[in-house]
Structure 1
Amino acid sequence: MINHWVILAVYILTFLIGLPANLLAICTFFKKLGNKPSPNDILLFNLTASDLVFLLFLPFKMYEAGAGMEWHLSQTLCSIASYFFFTTIYTSSLLLMAIAIDRYLGLVFPFKYRLMRKPLYAAAGSVIIWLVSAAHCSIVFITVHMPDPNATLSKNICYENFTEQQKKFLLPVRFEFFVVIYLLPLIVCIFCYINCIYILYTRPRITKGKKQRAIGMALCTLTIFLLCFLPYNLSHLVGFSSNDSPWWRYYTLLPSTLNTCLDPFVFYFSSSTFRESKTVSVLKKWCFTHKKTKKKVELSVISIAVV
């Protein structure tokens, strides 16, 4: 029922696009960390690091898809690959929430928050986020290595086809994932960005560029939550209500991988460090020149047609 070639194609496309984009971002933020980084830079650095860890373990999922969704490696390697694969997904959602909160507090309490806004707090918050997502996803090791003498399911499947004993333990935990580390961050992001946009548009002195970047940031974040993370987390809700892991769960992981391709847009709208980096500046200049040249060619063709 699973078309593994579709899954493999999406994984390869994500890897080819996401890896260079996030390498560019990590280099940019790494340089900034040594030169008075802002809390926002630290949060974005951790978001980039999360994407890169995800991409480094993505080849294991590519191997799985290429083998027809079968796993011919050890179950220990299966649990390690799955653990980092899922941990980075939830780390990204929590970091996006932290970035939204940082921007909201900076707008609502500009003077008071500026005095309290220190890079150390952002670093501590990032460590807590990593620990929370890592602790939640330790369920992978518990589930994969749960002893069950009556198990008759094939061992050639990685983190799927669970026994009844595994389901009783796993499905309620997945439901907690949906509520605590997906739905709650989503609600917080919606609240923060709606209020940010409202505040910006009620202050006439705010430049048009800042308003547009705020809208772009909000749209990118909500797109990641709704397009990338929602399908996979809905599978948790469906699995809990039906007492079974849905077969289409494989496909819900595909939008989650695209998160690594969309995060660079978040970097662009939220960080002047990233926008002003040399590579991004060259790309913007190339796109502008290409667009201008194309327009000139179109005008020339029109003028020739009129003549």
Structure 2
Amino acid sequence: MQDFTQKVTGNSSTNCTINHSIHQTLSPTIYILVFGVGLPANCLSLYYGYLQIRAKNELGIYLCNLTIADLFYIFSLPFWLQYVLQHDNWTYDANLCKICGILLYENIYISVGFLCCISIDRYLAVVHPFRFYQFRTIKAAVVVSIIIWGKEILMSWFVFKHADISMDAESHIICFEHYPIKDWEHNINYYRFFGGFLFPFFLLLFSYCGILRVVRKSHGTQKKTKIQIKRLVSSTVIIFLVCFGPYHILLVIRSLFENSCMFAEKIFNIYHFSLLLTSFNCVADPVLYCFSSESTYQNFVKMRDSGLTCLRCLRTKTQVSYQLKTLETLRKSNSVPAVEEPDLIIHHYYKQS
């Protein structure tokens, strides 16, 4: 630890005195919530994506990659939790800091990339069902996934080489952040805003507007179903904007105006609040892109019914062990009442083959 501190002192330091109170109050709560909800939800999402891959559905490739990216970030949350609870003082290895920082930031753009893939896949399936079929195959999905991961790995390597550990005025080792931001970060932030947020957002908007236009003109679609589709698409776009919009806008603001500690101190709380909002993407992804699909919802119902059946079997065995029953009584106790499936919340154009 002493060598690590000496290395930090020799590399970089900052005289900015930042109030990190948001990290001792709001951040731990958000990290614990996202970890507790996001971990099981994404594990189920990974299983559902696997089922879709088995069904030769290219959408399963994108869902699995999206889930893996979310899980990588979720696994880094315990380190960030300890970091903020120790008043923004990194006590682990410097390389581990860089890795956790890359998992935090690059998860945003890997997620955005696969969200765009999902929206384009749905757009092609609904708007051009008999064209561009070659782009809606397992092989094409694998190639696109490799390109997305490769691009982000190269970007991560660039950030890994340039990012260093700094020390604040209180001798706390700051992980993956600089106040004020450094010169090399400006171009990265502009790229993140235009290439990592704005362009994908317009692509997402174009895809779902095309889907809504086709559904609105469809005479065979019930009014109730059209309303459900509109709500689902609207929720997707709104969550995208809420999770990623504030953070990227503040990235540009920091790059344009943050040239002193005074500005960094003023924007610190709102900037880190926007960064916390990006964490909720790990919870929203399984809900919007996995649990809302018809096939995965039916699988969930089957799992639920199987679990209820097992519980009934266990209950029956327990009752048999405590009391002697006639043959007629046993026959009645083993009968399982029919379970009425609820209305499916997904719509016809999201139905997975």
TM-score (normalizing by structure 2): 0.72
CA distance in structure 2 between the aligned counterparts of 1:130 and 1:110, rounded to whole angstroms: 28
Q: Is the 8 A contact 2:45 2:291 kept in 1?
A: no
Q: List gaps (5 residues or longer) in structure 1.
A: 292-307
Matched, 1:161 2:178: yes
Partner in structure 1 of residue 315 of structure 2: none
Q: List gaps (5 residues or longer) in structure 2.
A: 1-18, 309-338, 343-353
Q: Is the 8 A contact 2:90 2:175 kept in 1?
A: yes
Following superposition, which runs of at least 4 residues in structure 1 exceed 4 angstroms of deviation?
Answer: 151-155, 207-210
Matched, 1:122 2:150: no
Partner in structure 1 of residue 234 of structure 2: 219
Matched, 1:105 2:105: no
Matched, 1:252 2:292: no
Q: Could you tell me how far 1:140 is from its partner in structure 2? A: 3.1
The count of residues paired between Structure 1 and Structure 2 equals 282
Q: Could you tell me how far 1:281 is from its partner in structure 2? A: 6.6
Matched, 1:236 2:251: yes
Partner in structure 1 of residue 76 of structure 2: 57
Partner in structure 2 of residue 36 of structure 1: 55
Residue deviations 1:74-131, cap 9 Å, x none?
2211101101111111111111111111111222211123355211101111111112
Residue deviations 1:23-60, cap 9 Å, x none?
11111222332x23311111111111111111111111
Partner in structure 1 of residue 287 of structure 2: 265
Task: Compute the RMSD of aligned alpha carbons.
Answer: 2.9
TM-score (normalizing by structure 1): 0.82
Query: In structure 2, what residue type is equivalent to 1:100?
Result: S
CA distance in structure 2 between the aligned counterparts of 1:242 and 1:152, rounded to whole angstroms: 21
Choose 1 or 2 for highest CA Rg: 2
Q: Which of residues 80, 86, 90 is equivalent to 2:99?
A: 80
Query: In structure 2, what residue type is equivalent to 1:93?
Result: V
Question: Normalized per residue, which structure has more helix?
Answer: 1
Residue deviations 1:147-202, cap 9 Å, x none?
x9xx9875611112347xx6111122111111101110001111111121111110
Change (3 A) 1:117 1:253: same
CA distance in structure 1 between the aligned counterparts of 2:268 and 2:135, rounded to whole angstroms: 48
Change (3 A) 1:220 1:37: farther
Q: Could you tell me how far 1:269 is from its partner in structure 2? A: 6.5
Q: Is the 8 A contact 1:213 1:269 kept in 2?
A: no
Change (3 A) 1:206 1:152: closer
